[in-house]
Homo-oligomer: A and B are copies of this chain.
Amino acid sequence: MSKRIPYKNIKYYTFAENRDFILESGTAFGSITVAYETFGTLNEDKSNAILIFHALTGDSHVTSSYDDDNSTPGWWDSLVGRGKEVDTNKYFVICANLFGGCMGSSGPSSINPLTNKPYGSSFPFISVNDMVNVQKRLIDYLGIEQLQCVIGGSLGGMATISMMTNYPDIARSFIIIASAYKTSSQIMAFYEVGRNAILADPYYQNGDYYGKEYQPERGLGIARMVAHITYLSNKGMENKFGRMIQENVINEQLTYNRFGPMFAIESYLRHQSTKFIARFDANSYLYLTKAMDMYDLTQGGKKTLSSEFSKVNKKVLIISFTSDWHFTQADSWEMAKELASLGKDVSYINIESSYGHDSFLLPCKIQEGAIKNFLKNVGVYNETA
């Protein structure tokens, strides 16, 4: 019931066939399948591997460098690939679909091997730590003792924080981009609106809509629209759309087509929503956003940022963007400051940009240069050596 996965080089690793994977909630679960792609060649001593976590709605296809015809763009083509700043001619890049997702890895739309039906509402609640524990199993399976780097933006940044604090020696370096160790009340509220739009859709059918005539597409579309606004910035939207009228709406229609697309921003959001519905699963959206909202490195104050970050013993790069109001520069600065005050080897870059949270996914010379330079100064690929 998963959406068709268009990536021909995708691989699958399945484990915990005996239902012996213990989730953070205490529930035992299995089997678990991880859909992943690798790019480049793992060197002999397995020291050149980089793990990249995708964000909320991403997948394993981080680069199209290895596609025959480049027909399926990679979501981070600007940064990752042959000859790119994260150069797959040098590094062995691993990117896996997040546990709970809908692009090949086990998630609510996967077939439950015990029933031969999609999990739907029977899929258990999962956490960011669960997602990370699953990818740790993948790294073990690939026989990699220590990664060159773990990189992630947004939810992928949270996963990187989880990896860095739960498995501090898993990599020689960590890059956390446009992220935070917990979600703000405001952003949580917007995701809650999105979840409510899905839950309110009559075709949601308590999550067991797979194979039914109707799917909760409208609710999912609304959820995407509201989230998408939080990925842009006020200034960016003003620059790109302002109050521009959509060209194909002629004046005469303004009166009659009164709730149809009219302003360019309205048309754009509907377009984004339509594209998203075609590629994403409503249940995965519920599970992944809830896991993101729930993530809190300090566990609601039971622990402190200081106690958690004191576990870190490798190089860290933190990147934020000035106009990002989803995970703000203040969120990144708080982490960088804490790591620095603990005497950790942390670098922090706050990049001027009007593209909001989306900035980290867009071509950005400063980000690309910073990451390339950071990687050069970590471990095995020091070019001066």
Interface centre among A219, A234, A258, A265 (most CB of B within 10 A): A258
Q: Mark interface residues in A266-289 (1 if CB within 8 Å of B CB, else 0).
A: 100110010000000000001100
Question: Does A290 make an interface contact (CB < 8 A)?
Answer: yes
Size of the chain A interface, CB-CB below 8 angstroms: 56
Q: Are B188 and A259 in contact (CB under 8 A)?
A: no
Residues of chain A from 219 to 238 with CB closer than 8 A to chain B in the complex = 219, 221-222, 225-226, 229, 232, 234, 237-238
CB of A221 to closest CB in B, whole Å: 7
**Which applies to chain A's interface (DSSP): helix, strand, loop or mixed?**
helix
Residues of B contacting A184 in the complex (Cβ-Cβ under 8 angstroms): 234, 237-238
Residues of B contacting A254 in the complex (Cβ-Cβ under 8 angstroms): 25, 125
* Nearest residue, chain B, Cβ from A123: B258
Residues of B contacting A243 in the complex (Cβ-Cβ under 8 angstroms): 182-183, 185, 188, 296, 300
Question: Does A195 make an interface contact (CB < 8 A)?
Answer: yes
Contacts A190-B229, A197-B197; is A185 near B259 (CB within 8 Å)? no
Residues of B contacting A192 in the complex (Cβ-Cβ under 8 angstroms): 225, 263, 265-266, 269
C-alpha spacing A125/B262, complex, angstroms: 13
Question: Does A249 make an interface contact (CB < 8 A)?
Answer: no
Q: Mark interface residues in A234-262 (1 if CB within 8 Å of B CB, else 0).
A: 10011011110100000000111011000
Contacts A237-B184, A265-B189; is A245 near B196 (CB within 8 Å)? no
* Nearest residue, chain B, Cβ from A286: B259
Contacts A202-B202, A258-B290; is A229 near B263 (CB within 8 Å)? no
Residues of chain A from 58 to 117 with CB closer than 8 A to chain B in the complex = none
How many monomers of this chain does the complex have?
A: 2
Residues of chain A from 14 to 31 with CB closer than 8 A to chain B in the complex = 25-27
Question: Does A325 make an interface contact (CB < 8 A)?
Answer: yes
C-alpha spacing A201/B293, complex, angstroms: 26
Question: Does A142 make an interface contact (CB < 8 A)?
Answer: no
Q: Are A238 and B269 in contact (CB under 8 A)?
A: no
Question: Does A5 make an interface contact (CB < 8 A)?
Answer: no
Q: Would you mind naming 15 contact pairs between A and B with Cβ atoms under 8 Å apart?
A: A125-B258, A185-B240, A185-B263, A186-B238, A189-B237, A190-B229, A192-B225, A192-B265, A192-B269, A193-B269, A196-B221, A197-B222, A234-B325, A243-B296, A258-B287
Given contacts A125-B254, A185-B238, A192-B266, 8 further A-B contacts (CB under 8 A): A184-B234, A184-B237, A186-B232, A186-B234, A189-B266, A200-B201, A202-B202, A243-B300
